[in-house]
Amino acid sequence: MYNNLQPLFISHIMKSTSKIIGCLTLTTLLIACSEHRPVNTLPIPVKPQTQIKPNYVPPINPLGERTVEDILQIYGAHATRKLNNYFAKAKASFPPKEITLVALKQEKKLELWARDKQEFRLIHTYNIQAASGVAGPKLRQGDRQVPEGIYRIEGLNPNSNYHLSMKLNYPNEFDLFHAALEGRSNPGSDIFIHGRAISIGCLAMGNENIEELFVLTAKVGAENVKVVIAPHDPRVYPLTTDSAQLPIWTTELYANIFREINALSTKVKSTQTMRSQSMLH
């Protein structure tokens, strides 16, 4: 009887073993799937992401150490947009090759004239915010007079106490020659076109105006800028020297000033003359 039961027992054990092995295999597969990653495979390389760098802005020196380039970076874009508009209205190219600034002390106006290859054109007229003194040339240090004559821009100051400033070459050769003849050893110096609205012998233009003039001068080149300062507009009525307080050489000075302003544009002169004549009738 034992011999008859042995095959049945062996068969039962084999079936049980097969079931156990099957369960173990299924369990292994379920565990592998639950980890959400392939088994025995190499990692997939990931393409590096391209990093977007912010626009680079060059550093600006602190106040007191700023350069002309710093000023162009700060105010250049805004000032250039406005200047482009002025030049477009005047039908002139920007930037020009040469400019002349005509300062009229009595009228407190500063005219911007420019040319490229053609004749000078009146581009824009600025209001002078302050200009100390009276009609007549500057003679000595401390007289608070705005000089009169024909000058050049000697330098640009991006660190001025008056926002921005452009130094005139006063005293020029004409001023020095006549100061020496009269024995005036200190005719004065440090005359600027600058910002704000305070003047002690300078032309104060206000901050926004000086930004435009500063940027324009930097673009054109100071060597291509002339500044003519007159006691009043000689196209309206003549420059006279009938005051006993004026030096005798003022007659020559005013003739030079008139010649410079008159040469800018005969069209403007004719218009001004016709207007003044019509007012007399």
pLDDT of residue 17: 53
At 277 the pLDDT is: 43
Cite the active site residues: 194, 202
Q: Note the pTM of the prediction, 2 decimals.
A: 0.74
Q: Which residues share a beta bridge with 167?
A: 155, 192
**Three state DSSP letters for 201-263:** CCEECCHHHHHHHHHHHHHHCHHHEEEEEECCCCCCCCCCCCCCCCCCCHHHHHHHHHHHHHC
- Report which of 134, 81, 107, 54 is spatially closest to residue 237, judged by C-alpha positions: 107
CB neighbour list of residue 239: distance below 8 Å, 6 or more residues apart: 230, 231, 232, 254, 257, 258
- Other beta carbons within 10 Å of 71: 21
Tell me which DSSP letter residue 91 carries: T
Each of the 281 residues of the chain gets a pLDDT tens digit; together they read 445 545 544 455 455 555 555 544 444 433 433 333 443 444 544 455 545 455 545 677 877 889 999 999 999 999 999 999 999 999 999 999 999 999 999 999 999 999 988 889 999 999 999 999 899 999 999 999 999 999 999 999 999 999 999 999 999 999 999 999 999 999 999 999 999 999 999 999 999 999 999 999 999 999 999 999 999 999 999 998 887 789 999 999 999 999 999 999 755 544 444 444 444 33
Which pLDDT value is given to residue 10?
A: 47
pLDDT of residue 272: 44
Identify the pLDDT of residue 184.
93
CATH superfamily of the domain spanning 68-233+249-263: L,D-transpeptidase catalytic domain-like (2.40.440.10)
Tell me the three-class secondary structure of 143-171, residue by residue. CCCCCCEEEEEEEEECCCCCCCEEEECCC
